[in-house]
Structure 1
Amino acid sequence: MRKSLQATRSSVRRQDAFLAVGLAVLASVVAVSFGSGRRPDALGWALLLALHVPLAWRRRAPVTVLCVMIPLIAFYHQQEYDHSAPTAASMVLLYTVAVTGSTRRTVTIGCAVVALMLVLKAGHGMAGVAESFQITGWIVSMLVLGGYLRVHRQLTAAALDRAERAERTREEEARRRVAEERLRIARDLHDLLAHSITLIGVQTSVAAHVLAEDPDRLDRAAVAKALDDIADTCRSARGELRTTLEVLRDHGPPDGMDGPLDERGPLPGLDGLPDLAAAARAAGAEVDLSVAADVVPAAVGAAAYRIVQEALTNAVRHGGRADLTVRVGVHEREGALWVDVTDDGAGSGDGIPGFGLVGMRERVRSVGGTLDAGPLGERAGFAVSAVLPLRAGAR
């Protein structure tokens, strides 16, 4: 970065130096070919060439260059040398002052230069007055041109800056939406696969237990039921996984996301709670389900469904007892949907942290709700309680 900046500054100095040399050559040609005063002698040539030297620093220190060049130009004109020779250098300098400074500085310097020019032309009579008007027009033109270009550059830079900020904002928003989408996919897959795999594991254990209990008196009906339950769970998981994949294929995280994340594809809702209860019963748990709620927003219904699903999965996985009882209550009151799941299992896990509770908390936060989860305390069991505002979920 520093090397690039130094290279840019060096290039600017070279350009200004070449411009100074070119203007000095032009002034020399004008002084020799189109003289409107006496031709420069040794002093005149020295003044004419010397006043072009500061132009090599015109963009680095325009006011300093002006303070150096003005006395040289004034002295040159006082000696009655060719008046038009330094004109190009003077106009370039005035343009630089205007394009690099503020409006106030430009007006102040312009008035000072015009006043100095009028003083120098005061003794030339009417011819001096006419020439003064002509030179004043050139001075004003250069200052206006420089000021216009300065304002134009400022407006262009401001517009580019706004465009860059807007582009950065769009990129940040796109990254945020992609991150949210990835998190949503992770939650959905976790809820789906963890629930299905847990039920399959429990049902497989049941089948294995029946087979090993008494091979001579095999309960074929129990084994067939366990295998049928496994098949039903696999079909249900496959269907839900297919639905999730179809949603991802149709509305995956592309460059532009038009709608809210929770409105993509069909979402599970309260009508799916009986199926969850039936699957948990097939895994051997006694499930008491109570649902008392009208039509709720899709996002709130989906959050409630996933909370119950995860709670049932954890209860079946970590219950540790054959007569496990789980009570599920989903009720609408006080402008919110209350979800309560309690079990009387022996424990809530094996000490290995997972993503279930994390996913539940994220889902609850996504609809502006709150979640409490933990052991029941003195008596065995685990409880999950969530409050999901209906108005926040309907936004």
Structure 2
Amino acid sequence: MQATTTAVPRPRAGERIMAAINRDPRAAPHGTRNDAVLAAVLLTGAVCLALSTDEGRRPDAAGWALLVAAHVPIVWRRRHPLLVLVALVALVGPYHAMDNNHAAAGPASYVALYTLAVTGRPLRTILTGIGVLTVSVGIMLTVNTHQAVELIRISGWVIAILFAGVDVRYYRQYVASIVERAERAERTREEEARRRVAEERLRVARDLHDLLAHSITVIGVQTSVAAHVLTADPGRLDRAAVAKALDDIAETCRSARGELRTTLEVLREQDATDARGPLPGLHGLPDLAETARGAGARVELSVRADAVPPAVGAAVYRIVQEALTNSVRHAGPKPSVHVEVRAERGALRLSVTDDGTGPDPADPAGTPGFGLVGMRERARSVGGTLDAGPREGGGGGGFEVTAVLPTPAVPTGPAPTPTHLIPESDR
């Protein structure tokens, strides 16, 4: 089966002409070859003009040699426009001084002047034009005063060609600036798109880490409890304790599966700008505390805040979730954990402290986790700060996570009555 090819329509003549005008002549493809063809065409026209005059004004052998030689530098007009013009004036000057047909050398001179104007700076172009006219009039005054006056009369064409070249130069610069701005805007859009993709990937990575690390840690602890109950005293098997541990494992799995499904649904929503769904917030903290208690931790939760922005509530939820996961994993058996969230003027303060050893900075496996990094990123995402480290003045040690999250929506008056105060003794 042969592959079908789509024919690309050729640009129209007007489009090709505008493309040639907009393009810098020094960057045009096949420039030297095209200029060689242009020189041949100009020479052919010059020969026709020279032969069309009366025999008294036709060039002699020296005149023909100068006329032909004056067209040779046109081949390199794009690379060295000023040198080409100087060489052409040096050849055309004697040609006019010999009183040959003056019109024959005109087209090549105009092309050299236009090339200089369209590629050089305007001041240099004006000074060069004045110099060319001065030299030409001076030569013609020595040959024929009438011809010199005629040259002054038609010098308006020379000035018009120079100004046309300058105008085309400015037009090309204007087009190039538009193209450059468009390319810069496109690069900015691409960089913005890449930044958004990177931020979304980082957010998904944080969500997955917080979800899976917490759930897997709790499941691991609950599985260890069930295994311990099964092997501690086989003769006096506590079936209720085993059943409760297995029920806790099943509930943790269901919760993790639900959150994971929500995260995957967000990833599948390609057309939605922000399809995160309802974010977890302060209302989910009691469930986190209860899950940590099921893993053996003694958790005391105190929440003294009412309405907070959803983003801040989600950050608090994830920070507490990761801090409880670290306490269950690293603080030793049955750690005592105190979680406090309170609203202050213009900010929400969060602290999670335990009486264990905290995350081991020198992990035996040599693979540091991303929990502390993720918590700091969560705090920075809402303009807050987070500190984590060994607890100061804790006596028996312990680890502490503190965060300050700015929010204009927290109460500005006296601290409200605690909405959640669940000490371990009331369990």
Cα deviation, residue 241, structure 1: 0.9
**How far apart are residue 356 of structure 1 and its match?**
0.6
Give the Cα–Cα distance (whole angstroms) in 2 for the partners of residues 106 and 28 of structure 1.
29
**1:42 corresponds to which of 61, 75, 95:** 61
Partner of 1:312: 324
- The residue that corresponds to 1:4 in the other structure is none
User: 1:200/1:36 Cα in 2 relative to 1: closer, same or farther (>3 Å)?
Assistant: farther
> Is contact 1:35–1:84 with CA below 8 Å preserved after alignment?
no
Matches within 5 A, 1:322-341: 322=334, 324-341=335-352
Q: 1:167 aligns with which of 186, 192, 206?
A: 186
Aligned to 1:52, the other structure's residue is in SS state helix
Q: What residue number does 1:108 align with?
A: 127
- Cα distance change of structure 1 residues 347 and 360 upon mapping to structure 2, 3 Å threshold: closer
Which of 222, 240, 245 is equivalent to 1:226?
Answer: 245
Measure how far apart 1:75 and its partner are.
Answer: 2.0
CA drift of 1:185 comes to: 0.9
Q: 1:188 aligned to 164, 183, 207, which one?
A: 207
Aligned AA (1:309): Q
Q: Does structure 1 conserve the Cα–Cα contact (< 8 Å) formed by 2:312 and 2:407? A: yes
Contact 1:62 1:97 in 2 (8 A): yes
Quick one: structure 1 residues 35 and 242, their matched pair in 2 at CA, closer, same or farther if it must change by over 3 Å? farther
1:339 positional shift = 0.7
Kindly state the Cα deviation for residue 305 of structure 1 after the two structures are TM-superposed. Answer: 0.7
Residue 384 (structure 1) aligned with residue 401 (structure 2): yes
Corresponding residue for residue 265 of structure 1: 277
Match of 1:3 in 2: none
Which runs of 5 or more structure 1 residues have no equivalent in the other structure? 1-6
CA distance in structure 2 between the aligned counterparts of 1:358 and 1:227, rounded to whole angstroms: 32
Does residue 295 of structure 2 align to residue 280 of structure 1?
Answer: no
Q: Which residue of 2 aligns with 1:15?
A: 34
- What pairs with 1:1-395 in structure 2 (closer than 5 Å)? 11-34=30-53, 38-120=57-139, 129=149, 132-133=152-153, 135-251=154-270, 264-322=276-334, 324-349=335-360, 351-352=362-363, 353-376=368-391, 378-391=395-408
C-alpha distance in structure 2 between counterparts of 1:266 and 1:249, whole Å: 16
Contact 2:39-2:74 at 8 Å conserved across structures: yes
Q: What CA distance in whole angstroms lies between the structure 1 residues aligned with 2:409 and 2:157?
A: 68
Shift, 1:187, TM fit: 0.7
Once the two structures are superposed, residues 318-370 of structure 1 have per-residue CA deviations (whole angstroms, 9 ceiling, x without a partner) of 22223x21100011113111110011124434832211111111111222222
Aligned residues of 1:37 and 1:82 also touching (Cα < 8 A):
no
The one-letter code sitting in structure 1 at the alignment partner of 2:202 is L
Aligned length: 378
Q: Is the 8 A contact 2:137 2:151 kept in 1?
A: no
- SS of match in other structure, 1:284: coil
CA contact (8 A) 1:192 1:237 kept: yes
Greater mean alpha carbon deviation, residues 87-96 or residues 102-111: 102-111
For residues 119 and 101 of structure 1, the distance between their equivalents in structure 2, rounded to whole angstroms, comes to 25
Q: Distance in 1 between matches of 2:101 and 2:276?
A: 81
Q: Identify if the C-alpha distance between structure 1 residues 61 and 46 changes in structure 2 by more than 3 Å, giving closer, same or farther.
A: same
Say if 2:308 and 2:409, in contact at 8 Å, map to a contact too. no
- Does the CA contact (< 8 Å) of 1:347 and 1:381 recur in 2? yes
Decide whether aligned partners of structure 1 residues 157 and 10 sit closer, same or farther in structure 2, where only a CA change above 3 A counts.
closer
Relative distance call for 1:312 and 1:35 in structure 2 (3 A) is farther
- 1:185-212 C-alpha deviation (Å, 9 max, x unpaired): 1111000000011111111111122222
> Which amino acid counterpart does residue 398 of structure 2 have in structure 1?
G
Q: Match of 1:200, as an amino acid?
A: I
**1:248-278 CA distance string (max 9 Å, x none):** 21158xxxx966xxx8432211111111011
**Deviation at 1:148?**
1.7
TM-score, structure 1 as length reference: 0.88
| AA at the equivalent of 2:397 | A
CA apart distance, 1:165: 1.7
- The answer (yes or no) to whether the contact 1:27–1:85 under 8 Å persists in 2 is yes
Take 1:125 and 1:392, find their aligned partners in 2: how far apart are those partners? Answer: 93
Q: 1:348 & 1:124 partners in 2: Cα distance?
A: 102
TM-score, L = length of structure 2? 0.81
Q: Which amino acid aligns with 2:251?
A: D
More helix by share: 1
SS of the residue corresponding to residue 82 of structure 1 reads: coil
Residue 138 of structure 1, CA deviation = 2.2
- Structure-2 separation of matches of 1:25 and 1:333: 91
Instruction: Give 1:137 shift.
Output: 3.1
Q: Is the 8 A contact 1:287 1:326 kept in 2?
A: yes
Q: Percent identity?
A: 61
Asked whether the 8 Å contact 2:279–2:310 carries over to 1, the reply is yes
